[in-house]
Structure 1
């Protein structure tokens, strides 16, 4: 691995209310700019809510980061400080986020995808909830797609059939397995009104942790290069804290599945699935 470069380092004496890490590898510049803009707006709303804590962004460049000087300058003007972590090469999604965990963190740490738009009050709502519920160490929001439809990204423990059907079968064939996929995606429990306590697995596109909980878990398992690192971390989180789905916290997710990203992603998906099932147990049907 190449030498790690940390630009605009922060000291251990700096205090943040919320730190956040965003890992990028050849990101879509427009989507990343929208993510950073939404982070700035969410930070402003957090301060307006009476919270005086600041937000700090760790932007981890696994490769191919375009010129984001304008967006980062706008973040600074909005009171969101940032650190660029660079020079380490493409170490994978989980290991990239773990690089931020070696830096000073806020009371809460947000694991965030570079294709997420947060509702302006998302962080304010989330911090307010966590302050009111000290037993909760991991919060997941209501996640919507580009069409404004709710995405069912809280999951039951998967079977191999669930993963193959959900990830790779055409829509016409998935309809034949609609009932089992609805169970896997918790469609009878996830909605835009009701909180859900302790969903087994939550999405890694937005995971808001108490930082002490995340450090106790040692972050992501570095053996996953891409895919299933959030499944692994979710299951381990239940050993030390409570997990909650809070639909009042809302984000927009522009992401897509592995099958739509080509053969290399399918191979990484399969390798990570094998590692996940070997660790937590195989369920076929």
Structure 2
């Protein structure tokens, strides 16, 4: 296979797993290959490294994951694929940081294992970053697994808003519908034009490597939840965080409240840390 021109940007894609559904991961990887091929055909992308980080600490799961990856023809697709088996689960951000440390790429894509992407998603993002040097991160327009909107860009939260979203029954959420819609930036989603945003979802973050390294990557004190919000705010010191509706993804993830008491505890603990780090906003 002919290597891509050296002057084109190197992209590192990191995917962190913890007993994640492998069928969904397989779909994610398939759409990733299609997006990389489209970006290369447009002359926007050079080398691609895929770092799959297994935080599961489970030999049986790791073996199944290895078999899944071996079914893909990474060399033919022009990928350097590596599987990293962690000996301890230090959290979502720590897993991505391991990939960042190993690969000082021009661009990094932080990707969840449950995200399916449009074929032109990288083409759209890379073109925008090339034309807007002040932008350090682009965040896509999201769709939920059921086909409804998934609001992946957010305004700064208040304690009230996060408690409502995570724990309140639907009847109570309806009473605060306007406030919740403002937090989720429904107005931005409806306008469907690129715009600066305060916070970007960690399910899909296309970031300049220089800005990511200057920010220090994810803060590993956040085991799970809010590490993406924290990183968004620290990246904003390096440049602009931007919502780009031409980038389209489908995210199958669920809310913390639907995942049991352990996730609720992680959500609360990380929420307290986030407000302690960036200021308490109650209402």
Do these two structures clear the TM 0.5 threshold for a shared fold by scoring above it?
yes
- How many positions carry a matched residue from both structures? 272
- Indicate the RMSD between aligned Cα atoms, in angstroms: 1.8
Aligned to 1:252: 250
| TM superposition score normalised by structure 2 | 0.91
Q: How big is each residue's C-alpha offset from its partner over 1:41-83, in whole Å with a ceiling of 9 and x where there is no partner?
A: 1111111112350211010010144334344442503222211
Say which is worse superposed, 64-73 or 140-149, in terms of deviation: 64-73
Aligned to 1:4: none
Contact 1:18 1:56 in 2 (8 A): yes
Shift in CA distance, 70/222, structure 1 to aligned 2, threshold 3 Å: closer
1:191-202 equivalences in 2 (<5 Å)? 191=190, 193-197=192-196, 199-202=197-200
For 1:20 and 1:125, locate their aligned partners in 2 and report how far apart those are by CA, in whole Å: 16
Q: Does 1:58 align with 2:51?
A: yes
Q: How big is each residue's C-alpha offset from its partner over 1:109-163, in whole Å with a ceiling of 9 and x where there is no partner?
A: 0000010011111111111111111111110010111232221221111111100
Aligned to 1:125: 124
1:92-131 equivalences in 2 (<5 Å)? 92-131=91-130
Q: How far is 1:193 from its partner?
A: 2.5
Aligned to 1:280: 278
Shift in CA distance, 78/119, structure 1 to aligned 2, threshold 3 Å: same
Aligned to 1:140: 139
Equivalent position SS for 1:227: coil
| TM superposition score normalised by structure 1 | 0.91
Aligned to 1:10: none
Q: Does 1:18 align with 2:11?
A: yes
More helix per residue: 1 or 2? 2
Contact 1:158 1:184 in 2 (8 A): yes
Contact 1:18 1:55 in 2 (8 A): yes
Aligned to 2:87: 88
Equivalent position SS for 1:188: helix
Q: Give the unaligned 5+ runs of structure 2.
A: 1-5
1:177-196 equivalences in 2 (<5 Å)? 177-191=176-190, 193-196=192-195
Q: How far is 1:16 from its partner?
A: 5.8
Q: Give the unaligned 5+ runs of structure 1.
A: 1-12
Equivalent position SS for 1:69: helix
For 2:9 and 2:17, locate their aligned partners in 1 and report how far apart those are by CA, in whole Å: 22
Contact 2:44 2:126 in 1 (8 A): no
For 1:75 and 1:257, locate their aligned partners in 2 and report how far apart those are by CA, in whole Å: 34
Shift in CA distance, 94/229, structure 1 to aligned 2, threshold 3 Å: same
Equivalent position SS for 1:114: coil
Aligned to 1:221: 219
